[in-house]
Amino acid sequence: MAKVYDALRRAEQERKRREGIEAVAAPPVSWEDVPRDAAAAALPFWKRWFQRARRGPDVAEPANDANKRRIAILQPDSFVAEQFRMLRGRIDSLAAQRPIHTVAVASANAHEGKSTAAVNLASVTAMSLGRRVLLVDCDLRRPKIHSSLGIDIRAGLAEVLLDRATLDEAIVKVERMNLDVLGVRSTPPNPSELLASPQMRSLVEDVSQRYDRVVFDTPATLGLPDSKIVSELCDGLVMVVRADVTPREDVHAALEVLDRRRILGMVLNGVDTSPERYGYY
């Protein structure tokens, strides 16, 4: 495993300073592939969702796209990791006022950096001394957590909810980290119904008692009920918006779907930074 981490670190060093991310923890003011051209971006999200559906399933993502989701692990002293520490600090500050054990990470559309934010937020939280942290992949349609962290999943969230495996059997510990993962092994035909089941509610209550902080990676908000279902079971919500990509109207539509009172802060993803500030993603 150490050789894998070293190889990934070298690969990420070659790619650094190309892009940047800035996490802003402040009160906030689908399943689709977000169109890159301005004309397509102007379409209502439901039209872009159908365009995405007609194109069929995604092709396998490049290895670097998966690896960059764990930049806080590969380069813990980087500018990116520090931004997620700021977000962690914001959540900890709010947790001093009211209990915040479970946090959902959501975005309006797909491909806006939601899984990246979930993995890195969970990673920097797990770096805190004496903290037990669990990362749960609630995307039962396009799971990414296990590939991002390079772990094997023998039983996942669906198996636990269907009583085909126990929670202890499904949880995997990330090597050399105080971080556990409940990933996705199989994609069921009824993901929304499973997430809305009493078994899911019981699972959230169980892990909130076992762990100091639980981070839930949810599917895109627009076009699917999954994100709203999961977020309503959590103590708080972090919203991810991709700069110059996420249409303003989609952000407003997502905030209408989600409960604004649960939103703890926002991650503004894909922000260009100057070379002096270490740009990555």
Angle between helices 114-126 and 79-95 in degrees, nearest 10: 70
What count of Cα atoms within 13 Å lies in the side-chain half-sphere of residue 281?
26
Four-residue CA torsion sign, 250, 230, 114, 263? positive
Amino acid at 85: R
Chain segment 236-268, per-residue pLDDT in tens? 999 999 988 999 999 999 999 998 888 998 888
**What is the arrangement of strands in the sheet containing 172-173, beginning at the earlier edge strand?**
22-24, 263-269, 236-242, 102-107, 213-217, 133-137, 179-182, 172-173
Q: Give me the pLDDT at residue 32, please.
A: 35
Please say if the pLDDT value at position 235 is more than 90: yes
Q: Which of 79, 30, 70, 24 is nearest to 239 (CA)?
A: 24
Per-residue pLDDT tens digits for 158-169 = 999 999 999 999
109-148 pLDDT tens trace: 998 989 989 999 999 999 888 889 999 999 999 998 988 8
pLDDT of residue 91: 93
215 and 121 Cβ atoms separated by less than 8 Å? yes
Walk me through the domains of the chain, giving residue ranges and CATH numbers.
2-273 (3.40.50.300)
Residue 68 is classified by DSSP as G
Q: Under 8 Å CB-to-CB from 82, ≥6 apart: which residues?
A: none
Q: Calculate mean pLDDT across residues 195-217.
A: 96
How much is the pTM? 0.73
Task: Map residue 276 onto helix, strand or coil.
Answer: helix
CA distances (Å), origin 10, targets 1, 13, 36, 64, 68: 14, 5, 29, 11, 12
Q: 45-55 vs 248-257: helix axis angle to the nearest 10?
A: 100
| Residue-wise pLDDT tens digits, 13-60 | 544 444 444 444 333 333 333 343 444 445 554 445 444 433 334 444
